[in-house]
Structure 1
Amino acid sequence: MTTPRSRSTASVPQAQHPYKVMALYKFAALPDAESLVAPLGAFCRERGIKGTLILAPEGVNGTVAGAPAAIDALADHLFATGPFGTRLAGAEVKYSSAATAPFLRMKVRLKPEIVTLRAPEADPSQRVGTYVEPQDWNALISRNDVVLVDTRNDYEVGLGTFRRALDPSTSSFVDFKNYVARHLDPGRDRKIAMFCTGGIRCEKASSYLLSQGFEEVFHLKGGILKYLEVIPPGQSRFEGECFVFDERVSVIHGLEPGTATLCRACRHPLTEADRSHADFAEGVSCSHCAHDAAKSHAAAERQRQMTLARERGGAHLGDAAALEAERGRRRKALRAERSRRLASRLFKGEAAG
């Protein structure tokens, strides 16, 4: 059986890596979500798929990775032949690839919401804002009468965002409601454009804004990930890298891995500048957690155990991960430099034209 295509299918070549990554979400009525958790987990584990899938009465959300054939089988299971029937057909799905396994284990979780806002009046299955294709996004956000809002959390915005975008400075999506109440006005802000990583937050945020009396609400279809996939670097208005919730940490144009890494103490994403900060100590602390004595102590002890294991000729549980992180950072730096060179050539070509 042919698996239904997602609403955001790949349109640029992807590197031929051994792992296929599938990010997906769909707001759909799943009153039987609890009974679907265990069978879905078993289906994935039997095929070596790893990652996280969240099921809730309002739908599904998650990112998983595995062998290409395994991910294709999961897509068919979710959208056509499995116990979900056709309820997830038309889900927002994005595919990419990875050279190394992005996840360590497989988790299927049952939650009250697939993206937590705690606002019952926001129901994307009933009403959402206007979808804007990535190819039309630049024109929309260039308008002076459009208020551009990044709906992601502060640490995500810190890695990269669109020019002119407002940063709500939230640490949780639940805080977005307070930001709207304090900083946005339906009488003043007549046109609002929003974006997030893959589109799911914006669907819920747009539904919430409409419930609060905002009349014209737009959101980037497929999110930043789709934009980075299909918009050439020379035409991009996105600055920096896009944070993703797996071991890649961040991605750039073409959905290639970026240069960001994670602090192993506090899990905050780190840029090259962060790693050059005086408070950064590999595996121990960064500028975001250096003054948190408990986290720094725990990380320092973990780093000490890893060092002792190496000296004894053994291996610590976190040793391989740390070494792979270092190798990954070097690979990311090389890919990022190639991407910057490509963007520069494209820009010069357009200028000459």
Structure 2
Amino acid sequence: MTARATPPSPPAAPSIAPADLPVLNISSYRFVPLDDLPELRDRLHAAAQALDLKGTVLLAEEGINLFLAGPPEAVNGWLAQLRADPRFADQPAKESWSAEQPFKRLKVKIKAEIVRMNMPTLRPATARPPAVSPRTLARWLDAGHDDEGRPVVMLDTRNGFEVDAGAFERAIDWRLHKFGDFPAALAAHRDSLLDKTVVSYCTGGIRCEKASLVMQDLGLPHSYQLEGGILKYFEETEGAPHWHGDCFVFDERELLAPTLLAAAPHAPD
């Protein structure tokens, strides 16, 4: 089994832009204690502004969450400056490409949480929950069970409208209106999950990492997060098996296909 509790993979080498898709889009997060938020905000904003990048960087005492886009040399230059800080030395970044800039402006903000769950006692930076790699998950789903023979269920931690754009086959969908609704929904359904291997998933990993900690706190013994989220699953599995539809993203592209390219808009029903 390759499910494990380990740090994310180290950053990959800088990518080369496809000829017809000159804009590099990155997303990344890390739960790490930060105690210099105003200075860090100003430094990261100045670096991104100087490189003419657009997107959003969220900072909180619990860590960083970012979505940025621009020419690849500019994006990789900003990442190099971020990684010069020892707290982000091996910061990974998920990549996709687009023909145009998908963000309208640059925002670097300090927030109470980098993803809001309204559980201030939850401390993701202190212990990363067990994660299952995309390839291992695909193998489990092919088999219909994990390596110990337990049935595998996929638990979507995203909002209902995101699920409507695409999801794993037979995934549990509690029609969440906001991520803060997840703990109560999980508590209400906990007993039905006790004898199963539960894999929480989200777009890029940040929500399902917090969700996995809540699952552990509620005594679900075989709970994991999907390492890197849906976007990493698209990147590391051939054809994104067991996935149907696209992935909703919070920029002007709105939908990414399993190829990690912008998807064609869905026709109305």
Find the aligned partners of 1:207 and 1:127 in 2 and give their Cα distance.
9
How many pairs are equivalent? 255
Q: CA deviation at 1:189?
A: 4.2
Does residue 184 in structure 1 map to residue 190 in structure 2?
A: yes
Q: CA deviation at 1:14?
A: 6.8
Give the aligned partner of residue 236 of structure 2: 230
Structure 1-normalised TM-score? 0.68
Matched ranges for 1:66-81 at <5 A: 66-80=70-84
What SS does the aligned partner of 1:125 have? helix
Structure 2 counterpart of 1:122, one-letter code: L
Structure 1 counterpart of 2:205, one-letter code: G
Structure 2 counterpart of 1:40, one-letter code: L
Give the aligned partner of residue 312 of structure 1: none
Q: 1:65 to 1:86 in 2, by over 3 A?
A: same
The structure where helix makes up a greater share of residues is: 1
The partner residue of 1:221 within 221, 227, 236 is 227
The partner residue of 2:157 within 120, 127, 151 is 151
CA contact (8 A) 1:198 1:223 kept: yes
Which structure exhibits the higher relative contact order, with contacts defined as CA atoms closer than 8 Å and separated by 6 or more residues? 2
Q: 1:239 to 1:185 in 2, by over 3 A?
A: same
Find the aligned partners of 2:9 and 2:131 in 1 and give their Cα distance.
15
Matched ranges for 1:224-263 at <5 A: 224-233=230-239, 236-260=241-265
Cα RMSD, aligned residues only: 2.3
- For structure 1, the 5+ residue unaligned runs are 261-270, 275-353
Q: CA deviation at 1:34?
A: 2.5
Q: 1:121 to 1:209 in 2, by over 3 A?
A: farther
What SS does the aligned partner of 2:125 have? coil
Q: CA deviation at 1:123?
A: 1.9
What SS does the aligned partner of 2:203 have? coil
CA contact (8 A) 1:229 1:255 kept: yes
Find the aligned partners of 1:38 and 1:236 in 2 and give their Cα distance.
42
Find the aligned partners of 1:33 and 1:174 in 2 and give their Cα distance.
24
Q: CA deviation at 1:26?
A: 0.6
Give the aligned partner of residue 102 of structure 1: 102
Deviations 1:135-166 (A, max 9, x none): 11123342262232011110100000000100
Structure 2 counterpart of 1:250, one-letter code: L
Q: CA deviation at 1:188?
A: 2.9
Find the aligned partners of 1:186 and 1:166 in 2 and give their Cα distance.
11
Matched ranges for 1:1-353 at <5 A: 7=10, 9=12, 15-16=18-19, 17-80=21-84, 85-141=85-141, 142-143=144-145, 145-185=151-191, 188-233=194-239, 236-260=241-265, 271-274=266-269
Q: CA deviation at 1:13?
A: 8.8
Please identify the structure whose Cα radius of gyration is greater: 1
Structure 2 counterpart of 1:236, one-letter code: P
What SS does the aligned partner of 1:24 have? strand
Find the aligned partners of 1:222 and 1:187 in 2 and give their Cα distance.
23
Quote the sequence identity (%): 36
